[in-house]
Amino acid sequence: MAKYPVFPWFDEHYLKIAKPDPLAIAARVLALSEYHHATAQEHGDDNAWFTYGLAVAAEALAVTGHLHELGTLLTGLETLVPAEYRAKWPLHDVALDQVPAHHGEPAIGLVH
């Protein structure tokens, strides 16, 4: 588990009330996907199927209304990315405002 906060993909307060810029969210998802794709290629997976699998899984979860599960998936994937990479991504300032993770669970809220 990463020791630094990640984007609150399944924070209902932030995503529903604060309504972040959809283009910034799309850019962050693409940055996440690109990171894992590049990492897969570095480890010898020439096809790097991760990106395609993520896209299919995200679409299936979103279409069927499983947004919390989609948020959990994206948050979990972000915990695998070193903080120095995430610091360059869109919406990094949002992630820094979260409540820190406790007991091995990802951070899910904003500091109020």
For 68, the domain range is 12-96
Residue 32 inside a domain? The answer is yes
Residue 102 inside a domain? The answer is no
Tell me which residue of 111, 85, 77 sits closest to 9, measured CA to CA. 77
Residue 60 inside a domain? The answer is yes
Q: Do the beta carbons of residue 58 and residue 29 sit within 8 Å?
A: yes
Per-residue confidence (pLDDT) for residue 4, from 0 to 100: 59
Per-residue confidence (pLDDT) for residue 13, from 0 to 100: 74
pLDDT in tens, 7-53: 878 777 777 777 777 788 888 888 888 888 888 888 887 666 777 78
Q: Which is more confident, 80 or 107? A: 80
pTM confidence score: 0.64
Residue 38 inside a domain? The answer is yes
The model's confidence at residue 64, banded by pLDDT at 50, 70 and 90, is very high
Residue 23 inside a domain? The answer is yes
Residue 101 inside a domain? The answer is no
**Total tally of structural domains belonging to the chain:** 1
Q: Residue 22: which residues within 8 A CB-CB, separation 6 or more?
A: none
